[in-house]
Amino acid sequence: MNRKSPTTAAAPPSSEPSPEAPLPPAAPQGVRPVRSASPWERLTRGAESLRRGIRGVLGADAYEKYLEFHAAHHPDHEPLSEAEFWRDRTDRQDRNPQGRCC
């Protein structure tokens, strides 16, 4: 006994959403849709992030941070030059040694 169940013809797939399907939320005004970055962009961003991290650990970004702080808190005074800043920083570290490798 071979029983076959009645078959119904399947409707062809439609590119339009069905009336029952929920629509995705609209993006807020002024927000651009996110596009995925290319492998080159991701590599470039990763390398830049690594560079900033290493500079931060080594203290190489100290002068840039000093300039930002100085502009925010002492806008009426001239900041030290980069050479003066590093000389002052090294002298301060020599006068007040802290836990550091060298």
pLDDT of residue 1: 54
pLDDT of residue 30: 72
Question: What mean pLDDT value characterizes the chain?
Answer: 80
| C-alpha distance across the termini of the chain, in Å | 90
pLDDT digits (tens, 9 = 90+) for 16-25: 655 676 766 6
Q: Could you tell me the pLDDT band of residue 93, with boundaries at 50, 70 and 90?
A: confident
- Is the per-residue pLDDT at 11 higher than 60? no
pLDDT digits (tens, 9 = 90+) for 42-72: 999 999 999 989 988 888 889 999 999 999 9
